[in-house]
Structure 1
Amino acid sequence: MTARVVAVTGASGGIGRAAAVEFGRKGHRVALLARGAAGLEAAVDEVRRAGGMAIGIPTDVTDPAQLVVALTRIEEELGPVDVWVNDAFTSVFAPFDELTPEEYERVTTVAYLGYVYATMAVLPRMKARGRGTIVHVGSALAYRGIPLQTAYCGAKHAIQGFHEALRCELLHEGSPVRVTMVQMPAVNTPQFSWVRSALPHQAQPVPPIYQPEVAGRAVVHAAEHPRRREYWVGGSTVGTLLANAVAPGLLDRYLARTAFDSQQTAQPRDPDQPENLWAPADADRDFGMHGRFDDRSTGRSVQAWASRHHGVLAGALATAAVCAGVGLGRRRA
């Protein structure tokens, strides 16, 4: 992409921050939206150090009015938004029957309706200009629910349905505005240091764990190539979604046996751990881009690379097939 104006929600940590930094590294003008002042300020500084122009706008995506105000400020200070990335979310780790209606509603409002409200704000402007791209940050859990995360899985499934329906409407209209979705694997983000949890032990992403930079690069690639309806990141995402398509009942039983333990470390949960469900955990303290699992996370994904370079791979395979055919023909001759 040539230099563009990009907005990223949930940009103070994790995938949102990694994507914002990657957009900055490519020379774009980036608006970072999040609730936590300290995390947002540090993320803006990181984007600038990477080479991009950046502004931070404290925003709660559950408030449609705040999103409209933020969008207006972005377009006044940076210019018309070319790319909007929906990433903000929250969650609660707990069995379903230990959740309160208020907790469930809050997760759904942030992690699902936040995407809807942001899209409602930016889409009319993109349509009026005849250009624009919206990227939804999804998850393998948009297709495959797992225990202890019913609210989060429900929200991701809802985003998937919203994305597909919206994409069909835009195709029906012949709109040049694009919408795509990136399904993520387990990522080493700060959420496991601030998510509300009722678990006896420290919450963790289900291995294998990827670093946020892997996810950030995938988001930027999706923004650059938005004609694809969705992208899958990480071999674990591919394996999970394929297994769910072929044998969902078997996967139900497997997750019932393994997913309670695989989402917790051996370390007891700190009862004083900060929470970001109702208020930002990074209001006064920057948690950074990464979570606490650097020593167990990988910064590369062969599958993600192959997804970004499928054209090159197809050409290489075709060339190899031709060469093999020529060689076989010569041996037969």
Structure 2
Amino acid sequence: MSESVIVITGASAGIGRATARMFARRGANLALLARGRAGLEAAADEVRARGGRALVVPTDVADHRQVEEAARTVEESLGPIDVWINVAFTSVFAPFIEIEPDEYQRVTDVTYLGCVNGTRAALRRMLPRDTGVIVQVGSALGARSIPLQSAYCGAKHAVNGFTSSVRTELLHNGSNVHITVVQMPAVNTPQFSWVLSRLPNHPQPVPPIYQPEVAARAIVHAAHHPRRKQYYVGASTVATTLANNVAPALLDRYLARTGFRSQQTDDKTTAERPNNLWHPVDDHKGRDFGAHGVFDDRSAARSPQAAMARHPLLVSTAVAAGAAAVGLVRRRMTRNR
């Protein structure tokens, strides 16, 4: 990806921030989009320190006009966009009936329509050149919904449906523009400290939890190898998707019993807790939150499943070699009897 022009939405924190760092080490030209300027400026400093070039473009992805203007600014400043990565999202942790209509719409506008707006802006530039990659950052919750996150789950389901439709249109036209989805597990990002929550206790990701660098490695790989329909990150993502396909009713009952408690810590929330639904928290607090959340001590820095998913040929070869070795041992044992 050296010298490539890469756009990352939601680049000020979390997965987007970790992805920017990783691309920077490869010498990429990075356009960083998010609402909060404090986080964006800190991310840009990290990109430059790692050998990349950074352009800060404050953008609310829910506004298609802002996204289109951001794309124009990127190409005027850095050149033609090679990769567009849709990471930006927001959420509300609460039972559905406790989420106000305008809050529900805001989550949908950012998490789903933000992805749509970014894809449209990218395709308007990539299709005439017949080259480019779009990476959607999805979630296991886009395949299997859980309680207390109905707005986010609905938006991530919509991202999957939207992306599949666009992919078939690109295939129909024989386009060399590729679009893929990276389905994420629970990730230790700052969102759990600033998401709008009406839960009695501090929200948390459902264990097992992974560090944002695990997600970033998968995104970078998908940008290099976009021909696959989607990538799954973390054994929990694979297991959740399979369980939902095999026994959805059983999973319903399990989540109804465990899903409320598993998304909260033992710490009570406070009335003055800030949230980023309408305004960026980094600007409100005047500080940068970085890539990691508050669950470092409980988060895995590696995912063997994700590593194997990035190298399916090596895994297949190893499995075949192992099967051949077992067959050879069996034949020798049979001859020696």
Bucket of the pairwise TM-score, normalised by the shorter protein: over 0.9
- Matched residue, 1:165: 165
**Amino acid aligned to 1:325:** G
Alignment of 1:202-281 (within 5 A): 202-281=202-281
SS of the equivalent of 1:275 reads coil
- Matched residue, 2:76: 76
Whole-Å separation in 2 of the counterparts to 1:261 and 1:326: 51
Whole-Å separation in 2 of the counterparts to 1:264 and 1:324: 47
Whole-Å separation in 1 of the counterparts to 2:111 and 2:28: 26
Alignment of 1:132-151 (within 5 A): 132-151=132-151
SS of the equivalent of 1:169 reads helix
Unaligned runs of 5+ in 1: none
TM-score, length-normalised on structure 2? Answer: 0.97
Unaligned runs of 5+ in 2: none
- Matched residue, 1:320: 322
In the alignment, structure 1 residue 306 sits paired with structure 2 residue 308? yes
SS of the equivalent of 1:44 reads helix
The superposition leaves residues 114-156 of structure 1 with CA deviations (integer Å, 9 ceiling, x where unpaired) of: 0111111110210101100000000000011100000000000
The superposition leaves residues 266-315 of structure 1 with CA deviations (integer Å, 9 ceiling, x where unpaired) of: 00012212111001111122111100111111111011001011111111
SS of the equivalent of 2:260 reads helix
The superposition leaves residues 202-240 of structure 1 with CA deviations (integer Å, 9 ceiling, x where unpaired) of: 000001110000001111111110000000000111111
SS of the equivalent of 1:320 reads helix
Question: RMSD of the TM alignment (CA)?
Answer: 1.1
Aligned length: 333
- Matched residue, 1:67: 67
Whole-Å separation in 1 of the counterparts to 2:261 and 2:333: 56
The superposition leaves residues 16-63 of structure 1 with CA deviations (integer Å, 9 ceiling, x where unpaired) of: 111111111111111110000101111111122222111111001011
**Amino acid aligned to 1:236:** S
SS of the equivalent of 2:277 reads coil
| CA 123–140 in structure 1, closer or farther in 2 if over 3 Å, else same | same
Q: CA deviation at 1:322?
A: 2.6
- Matched residue, 2:46: 46
Q: CA deviation at 1:330?
A: 4.1
SS of the equivalent of 2:33 reads strand
**Amino acid aligned to 1:289:** A
**More deviation in 68-77 or 232-241?**
68-77
**Amino acid aligned to 2:118:** A
Alignment of 1:13-32 (within 5 A): 13-32=13-32
